[in-house]
Amino acid sequence: MLYTPGMSISEELFERACRVIPGGVNSPVRAFRRLERAPFFVKRAEGAHLTDEDDKQYIDYVGTWGPAILGHAPECVISAVQAAVPHGLGYGIPTRVEVDMAETVCRWIPSIEKVRMTNSGTEATMSAVRLARGYTGRRYIIKFAGCYHGHVDSLLVAAGSGALTHGEPDSAGVPAEFANLTIVLPYNDRAAVERAFASHPGEIAGIIVEPFPGNAGFYLPRPGYLEFLREITEKNGALLIFDEVMTGFRISAAGVQGKLGITPDLTTLGKIIGGGLPVGAFGGRREIMDCVSPLGAVYQAGTLSGNPVAMAAGLAQLNYLEQHDSYTRLEQLGARLEEGVRRILRDEQLPLTFIRDGSMFCLHFTTQEVYDLDTAMSGNFDMFRRYFHAMLEQGVYVAPSPYETGFISTAHTEADIDATLAAMQRALRLAK
Ligand SMILES: *Cc1c(COP(=O)(O)O)cnc(C)c1O
């Protein structure tokens, strides 16, 4: 990409970045590539607001892609980090705060009896899948098209998020022999799961699923679908893995499983659990987790895992969420946004599909019901692009892809939501 004099500071930085970083970014969705403009570079962030290098301000609905549930730089997290830092940045030996964190996770999420910390969601899902295979002694894993579980080799098949945005649902560099051990099925299709179990008797180690998929836009399970996955895995001696890296501590204190009362065998966590620092976790039933090294034969490790500064940040965020009735507040803000969006769609006679649960939402640029990858992909990308640019122009940052979820934080105010709705009405008029 070539930029000419008169560039903004963000454009200058992006030009420098592109010379030394692939695509100028350290994670692909940040590149704004299909939007035909440079990304903005953030100088600082506070609450629900970002300020870029050119001092332009945005109301933020990306929220670090999920972690910033209290908004950016919340006082409780910043002071916990500041209190932890003088004691050292990490020792690679056990610390008290790791026990506090594990006890908190086990108390919040009853299906988790033991938990192991990692440094990212990707490590958590990779480890959970290895554990499912090690525990059952079976080879195959079922995943659903459009569900993203990080960039794990065997899970990078028909994955959502960045891979989808860039039109590369499968990655080069994943040998067919790996991918062949992953059975990819459409989400919300019970018969497909029944057929897979029937054609691979005694060979399926488990199902990994985003219980509320949030990486191909946001959509929901049909009533009874997750309960069905619970039953069929149990009947076939396979494990049910809920990937709650995005929905954990977000949809409810205990994620989707807490909201719907379903007990998976294993759960993967990330994003919110790190309070903005790099953390993931996987946990579940004691007897399964006891197969992890050093107790069991499934190897899993991490030099920086359970880092005390990251644990302090995450724990401060979780404690704050618990002490401030945050989920009621997030639901209020979400409901206000939803009411406004539905009014705008009526006023503008744009019957687009809007899906929300709590503080997660997605405006799909399609008039179809969205319940799987195909229907999520049925949207009008050009209309989204015009909408995105018009929103950014007005100082509202929504995800730079139609296949992402929007996030509200407790730092958003009614005034932020109302300003967003006014911008949205203008943007949709322009985008039509
Ligand atoms: C973000 C995400 C991951 C990957 O987490 P990273 O920290 O980016 O590696 C895995 N699963 C789901 C559902 C996610 O949303």
What are the φ and ψ backbone dihedral angles of 352, each rounded to 5 degrees?
-75, 160
List 145's β-bridge partners, or say none: none
**CB distance 230 to ligand 1 below 6 Å:** no
Q: How far are the Cα atoms of 119, 223, 276 from residue 304, in angstroms, in the given order? A: 7, 40, 16
For ligand 1, atom 10, the nearest C-alpha belongs to 149
| Closest ligand 1 atom number to CA of residue 278 | 7
CA pair distance 131, 239, nearest whole angstrom: 10
Q: How far are the Cα atoms of 160, 261, 324, 390 from residue 424, in angstroms, in the given order? A: 25, 35, 30, 8
CA pair distance 193, 207, nearest whole angstrom: 9
One-letter amino acid at 93 equals I
| pLDDT beneath 50: ranges in the chain | 1-3
**CB distance 118 to ligand 1 below 6 Å:** no
In order of their start, the domains of the chain are: 40-73+325-431 (3.90.1150.10), 75-323 (3.40.640.10)
CB 150 within 8 A of CB 126: yes
Which DSSP symbol is given to 424? Answer: H
156 CA distance to ligand 1 middle (Å): 12
**CB distance 244 to ligand 1 below 6 Å:** no
403 is an active site residue: no
Q: How many CB atoms lie within 10 A of CB 2?
A: 4
271 is an active site residue: yes
**CB distance 120 to ligand 1 below 6 Å:** yes
**CB distance 122 to ligand 1 below 6 Å:** yes
CB 247 within 8 A of CB 255: yes
Q: Which of 97, 41, 32, 57 shows the shortest CA–CA distance to 275?
A: 97
Residues ≥6 apart with Cβ < 8 Å to 74: 47, 317, 320, 411
270 CA distance to ligand 1 middle (Å): 7
**CB distance 136 to ligand 1 below 6 Å:** no
**CB distance 388 to ligand 1 below 6 Å:** no
Residue in 61, 219, 271, 403 annotated catalytic: 271
CA pair distance 132, 238, nearest whole angstrom: 8
143 is an active site residue: no
pLDDT of residue 223: 98
pLDDT of residue 3: 47
| Closest ligand 1 atom number to CA of residue 120 | 7
Exposure string over 398-428, b if 16+ CB within 10 A, otherwise e: bbbbbbbbbbbbbbbeeebbeebbebbbebb
pLDDT of residue 163: 58
**CB distance 148 to ligand 1 below 6 Å:** yes
Q: How many CB atoms lie within 10 A of CB 228?
A: 14
Residue in 52, 60, 243, 416 annotated catalytic: 243
pLDDT of residue 396: 98
12 CA distance to ligand 1 middle (Å): 30
Tokens of 254: 């205990």
CB 27 within 8 A of CB 162: yes
The burial class, CB within 10 Å (0-12 / 13-18 / 19+), for 191 is exposed
123 CA distance to ligand 1 middle (Å): 9
pLDDT of residue 154: 83
Cα Rg of the chain, angstroms:
21
125 CA distance to ligand 1 middle (Å): 8
